[in-house]
Amino acid sequence: MCGRFSLATDIDSLQEQFNFEFNDEVTINPRFNVAPSQQILTIGSNGGKRIGMTMKWGLVPSWSKDSKIGYKMINARAEGIDQKPSFKTPFKRKRCLIVCDGFYEWKKEGKNKQPFRFVMQDGRPFAFAGLWDEWDKNGEPLYSCTIITTTPNEITEEVHNRMPVILEEDAYDLWMDSKMNDTEYLKSLLIPFPAKKMKSYPVSTIVNSPKNDVADCLAPINSL
């Protein structure tokens, strides 16, 4: 699964790297310990333009009677994603990027769980494959999203049996294109990211609590 990540990179740098437009009235502050149910940065496509917007992490399907279902929908398994009721419609035409610069997983060590942070070798931000939906039962639309997960690569399997789907840059536009309806091609993108492009390191257990949204969450244990 993927239940926590970071996005400490400033918005100007993100816009330069991912080439998207963004509403300047919305403030994106550095985040070191992003948790489910919080607002996160996503990128979608509108008329060929990349548009950034914030959405609630935890997908609420448009047909749902209760928005609380989103707490159970922070991840979507890649296996059978085009068949599952909550995900099959968004998979067809509501696909997005979810931007981050690292994510966390926990490794069980005896009675304890040691958190690890996973990042790119080059230190650059990257994008998860996401789905989004719009829910409107209270007169005000709620935009929400989920992170797709897949089997682990050689580096993540040392810590967890799942990993988020990380997209290659040349797949971004096709993934976001709502007119792209080749489901077999889309499913072919939902694979483990090359381990050689990633690295991981243990971090402090302060990351265990989402209340601790501080820069120390990013630091290797031996540097604290």
Which residues are part of the catalytic machinery? 2, 105
- 131, β-bridge pairs: 95, 146
Determine the Cα–Cα distance for residues 104 and 220; give it in Å rounded to an integer.
12
- 99, β-bridge pairs: 127
Determine the Cα–Cα distance for residues 58 and 175; give it in Å rounded to an integer.
20
| Residue partners of 223: CB distance under 8 A and separation at least 6 | none
Determine what percent of the chain falls in helix, strand and coil, rounding each to the nearest 5. Answer: 20, 35, 40
Name the residue type at position 170.
Answer: D
Determine the Cα–Cα distance for residues 120 and 102; give it in Å rounded to an integer.
8
Cβ atoms within 10 Å of 171's Cβ, excluding its own: 16
Q: Which two tokens stand for residue 63?
A: 């047909």
